[in-house]
Amino acid sequence: MTHALHYGTSVFEGIRGNWNDRIGKIAIFRLAEHYERLLRGCKILRIDLPYSVDDLCQITVDLADKNGFREDVYIRPLAFKGQEAVANLNLNSLDDEFMLVMLPFGSYIDNTRPLKCQTSSWRRPMDSSMPTGVKIAGLYTTSILAKSEVLGLQVMMKRFF
């Protein structure tokens, strides 16, 4: 069992790539900005990747080309503490790993009709208690609970305080 699975010590991004018939390839939305945020999260969790933002962008573009998708895709880069370790809370002593997954992905919500919304009773953690400006896996539990609470609706709104 990896440290990331046991303790949530991973950083991820969710990136949309949209097929563009005019240019004959996938156009990826704000790729560099996504990887800048990923590397900020890596710094917080002391995950040392051997890649720059430019490297990560190129790896992603190359993977999109090699996969040959001719449709919209979802791109999930994941940096994580990959060592099998339990009861080791020293982030500096753990192995760092990276993976990149790309898969076909249509519309996230049905936007052909009005959306049903609800405010969840779950609240987003305060920025002073958790690094909410980056996508650390363990921090998404609140979002998952909130989304589960309003299941069946297209949009969930979380309270911030």
**Catalytic amino acids?**
135
Cα→Cα distances 38→72, 134, 159, Å: 22, 7, 25
Long-range contacts of 93-96 (CB under 8 A, 24+ apart): 94/3, 94/9, 96/42, 96/47, 96/48, 96/49
Coil, helix or strand for 36?
Answer: helix
Cα 19 from Cα 147, distance rounded (Å): 28
